[in-house]
């Protein structure tokens, strides 16, 4: 009798979906490339809520390929992630910075559909048509949510009356194979709550050590400058003000390395905008140690 009860209980469990599966969201990227062919990308996020700000800890993976590029980003080499995606296809603000071969690269898109992949700093002015261009750049960049995987139909309990119990040995092997991932996940979750706490390393906020200034040039362009007043080399991310808020256009954003005591900026260094607010002009920035970027720490964005 106990064996029959065990078999019935196990069979009922097999009809239920596995609740231990990770809640992941997949977005596919497409665009028209101006200097490459066959560009395509895929972004997988963990526990992401549509329309909210992206967080580096949500990244599962990002892959992008073209005839010129083949990149893969995971938690092992991500440095920065910012932007927001929705559950409808469209052009969104998306900034991803990652390490590869001892250098830092960026994949950027904006709400106008401009997009670029290249070394950090080479894509800052794609939207305005100025500045250097990365490895790949183009227009009509779109992130589209992938169709969710289909859910298997529950097995019919009517099989109980057709001799299914006689095949319990085969069913038992199938059941264990199907749910072993869930059991492993539960074990890992138990270990997290009962074992030593391991915190992900976060970047140190060094924004207060950077002095920023902005002015409107004689040509009407908004020009920014930054001075690093710390003793460390800093990685500074910035955005000009547009329509009263930090701009979400790739043409008005950028990032770069500033050495101790160094002042950077101006038109020659690409730190300008042709479309930002001019009355008054304003620039926002966020700074972290370059060593944190090099170490692959998670640098959350705060203007």
Examine residue 9 and state whether it is found in any structural domain, yes or no.
Answer: no
Q: What is the pLDDT of residue 165?
A: 41
CB-count exposure of residue 139 (10 Å: 0-12, 13-18, 19+): middle
Tell me, yes or no, whether 141 and 178 share the same domain.
no
Examine residue 15 and state whether it is found in any structural domain, yes or no.
Answer: no
Tell me, yes or no, whether 70 and 135 share the same domain.
yes
* H/E stretch holding 189: helix 168-194
The contacts of residue 63 (CB under 8 Å, 6+ apart) are: 41, 42, 71, 72, 73
Decide: 261 and 255 in contact? Cβ < 8 Å: no
Compute the distance between CA of residue 244 and CA of residue 178 in angstroms, rounded to an integer: 53
Tell me, yes or no, whether 287 and 224 share the same domain.
yes
Tell me, yes or no, whether 114 and 43 share the same domain.
yes
The string of pLDDT tens digits covering residues 86-113 is 999 999 989 888 888 878 888 989 888 9
In this prediction the pTM is: 0.54
Tell me, yes or no, whether 176 and 289 share the same domain.
yes
In the chain, the number of structural domains is: 2
Examine residue 57 and state whether it is found in any structural domain, yes or no.
Answer: yes
| For residues 38-54, average pLDDT | 92
296: CATH? 2.60.40
Tell me, yes or no, whether 178 and 247 share the same domain.
yes
Model confidence band, residue 193 (pLDDT cutoffs 50, 70, 90): very low
Compute the distance between CA of residue 139 and CA of residue 118 in angstroms, rounded to an integer: 15
- Three-class secondary structure assignment of 199-251: CCCECCCCHHHEEEEEEECCCCCEEEEEEECCCCCEEEEEEEEECCEECCCHH
Tell me, yes or no, whether 40 and 118 share the same domain.
yes
| For residues 112-138, average pLDDT | 72
Structural domain span for residue 100:
24-145
Buried-exposed string 95-117: b where 16+ CB fall within 10 A, e elsewhere: bbbbbeeeebbbbbbbbbbbbbb
Tell me, yes or no, whether 31 and 108 share the same domain.
yes
Decide: 40 and 28 in contact? Cβ < 8 Å: yes
**Dmax of the chain from CA atoms?**
91
């Amino acid at each position: 009798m106990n064996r029959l009860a065990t078999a019935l209980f196990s069979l009922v469990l097999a009809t239920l979906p596995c609740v231990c599966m990770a809640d992941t969201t997949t977005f596919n990227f497409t665009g028209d490339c101006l200097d490459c062919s066959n560009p395509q990308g895929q972004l997988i996020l963990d526990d992401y809520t549509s329309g909210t700000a992206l967080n580096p800890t949500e990244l599962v993976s990002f892959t992008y390929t073209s005839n010129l590029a083949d990149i893969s980003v995971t938690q092992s080499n991500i440095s920065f992630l910012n932007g927001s995606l929705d559950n409808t296809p469209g052009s969104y603000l998306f900034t991803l910075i990652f390490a590869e071969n001892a250098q830092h690269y960026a994949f950027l898109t904006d709400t106008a559909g401009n997009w670029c992949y290249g070394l950090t700093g080479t894509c800052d002015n794609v939207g305005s048509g100025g500045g250097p261009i990365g490895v790949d750049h183009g227009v009509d960049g779109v992130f589209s949510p992938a169709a969710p995987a289909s859910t298997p139909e529950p097995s019919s309990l009517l099989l109980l009356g057709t001799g299914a119990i006689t095949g319990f040995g085969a069913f038992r092997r199938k059941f264990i194979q199907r749910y072993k991932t869930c059991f492993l996940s539960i074990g890992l979750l138990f270990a997290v709550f009962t074992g030593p706490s391991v915190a992900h390393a976060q970047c140190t906020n060094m924004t207060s050590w950077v002095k920023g200034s902005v002015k409107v040039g004689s040509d009407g362009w908004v020009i920014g400058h930054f001075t690093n007043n710390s003793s460390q080399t800093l990685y500074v991310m910035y955005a000009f003000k547009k329509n009263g808020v930090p701009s979400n256009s790739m043409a008005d954003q950028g990032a770069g390395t500033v050495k101790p005591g160094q002042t950077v900026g101006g038109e020659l260094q690409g730190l300008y905008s042709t479309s930002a607010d001019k009355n008054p002009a304003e620039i926002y920035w966020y700074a972290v140690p370059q060593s944190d970027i090099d170490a692959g720490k998670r640098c959350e964005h705060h203007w």
